Amino acid sequence: MTKTISTQTKGLKGTLSIPGDKSVSHRALLLGAIALGTTEIKGLLEGEDVLCTAQALRKLGARIEKRSNGLWAVTGTDAFKEPESVLDMGNSGTGVRLLMGLLAAYPVTAKLTGDASLCSRPMKRITDPLSKTGAVFETTDGKLPITMTGSEKDVPFEYTLPVASAQVKSAVLLSGLRKKSPTVVYEPVACRDHTERMLKAFGADITVEKDRQGVNVITLRGGKKLTACPIVVPADISSAAFAIVAALITSDSEIVLPDIGINPLRTGILDVLLEMGADIAFENKREIAGEPVANLRVRSSSLKGVDVPAEKAPSMIDEYPILAVAAAFANGETRLNGLAELKVKESNRLQAIVDGLTRNGIDAEALPDDSIRIRGKGNKACGGGLIEANLDHRIAMSFMVMGMASESPVVIDDVSSVATSFPEFISLMNKAGANIHDYRD
């Protein structure tokens, strides 16, 4: 397979349009698929992950089409039908886990699978709580492929999240939509709340309150039919993070990123980069369809190492690979804490981060407490390594960014996974001044 090489560049410039938020895109399709009427979605991410969710929902009876004006239209179905073939969710952990939650309340049987990476990821964190609602799951090892049969059993259900996971929280909430009895989720550590926000937009009866211990108590009173509504998907902060770090670590750079989602439960990466000394300006702050957004102006910066506490992880779990690259170009030591969840992502990202940095001349190590220590080299020479992406889009993009600021080029063995979340990444960065292209030995 053709490899990809990223070489040093200076002066990233321009206004870069970042694709729509993947988390919001999945949820817009899923809720639109069961709502009365037709939901129009502007800015839907057209990456492979989201398109797999759309195709699965079509097999279940929803009508989903892209119109000539770029809007996506989703006409909901009152009752899912049993799919005639396997629901292939590709590489999407969000898509498959949320879909299992939605299907848990429908008396249909469906088989779900995915690519090699997705089939290696744990699903018991979803199937265990959903089994308590009456859904039945057949699996050999707690992973995909899984055959599930939903249940119309109507009983109150309460669940305390054992880990800060928006996917688990969302799956449990979605399983309660058709039940008149309440579904209550206790959330000791707050994580992204796109599902709660969007459920309100579609007319669900959902409340979020704090108890005396500061725990979020999320109560969904189901049995109310959702109603279609227009959705505008903000630009994805997780995708924007690659362009942000690229501009920070390359010299003479200044870029503008319009309409970036700045949901406070998603912006840990911005908080940490600002603490490191990043020059990031927030312009034209506003709200779109219930989600806060802003235009970000990013300029080259001299970064310093910081200690990132474990409490930050829920608000930036997907951004640690690119944050690690920023730390490699910072002055001083950075420590990233509370990274156990990275071991069960598209790849073992914790190890992939350390391996990638080490191969490119950076002193980095994984510590026994699931943290990573990185001794940054400032703007000193590094690079020259070959990265094994292991079908992980965020690892592939992070080390393409590293190559942009390294004296020696960085080579990535396979960047095909980038299509799952940011298909235009290479062309967009090259247009801004990067030099990323195919490479043959």
What structural domains does the chain harbor?
3-20+234-439 (3.65.10.10), 22-221 (3.65.10.10)
DSSP code at position 177: T
pLDDT confidence of residue 346? 77
Convert the pLDDT of each residue in 173-198 to its tens digit: 999 999 999 999 999 999 999 999 99
pLDDT confidence of residue 73? 98
Helices (H) and strands (E) in the chain, counts: 12, 24
pLDDT confidence of residue 379? 85
What pTM does this model have? 0.91
- Low-confidence spans in the chain with pLDDT less than 50: none
Contact 22, 237 (CB under 8 A): no
Convert the pLDDT of each residue in 246-267 to its tens digit: 999 999 999 999 999 999 999 9
What is the spatial distance between Cα 58 and Cα 378, in angstroms, rounded to a whole number?
Answer: 50
| Neighbouring residues of 98: CB distance < 8 A, sequence distance ≥ 6 | 26, 27, 30, 167, 170, 171, 174, 195
Catalytic residue among 259, 318, 355, 392: 318
In the sheet that 291-299 helps form, which strands lie side by side, from edge to edge?
A: 13-15, 254-261, 291-299, 279-288
Work out the mean pLDDT of the chain and round it to a whole number. Answer: 96
pLDDT confidence of residue 345? 79
Phi, psi values for residue 344, rounded to 5°: -120, 30
User: Catalytic site residue 318?
Assistant: yes
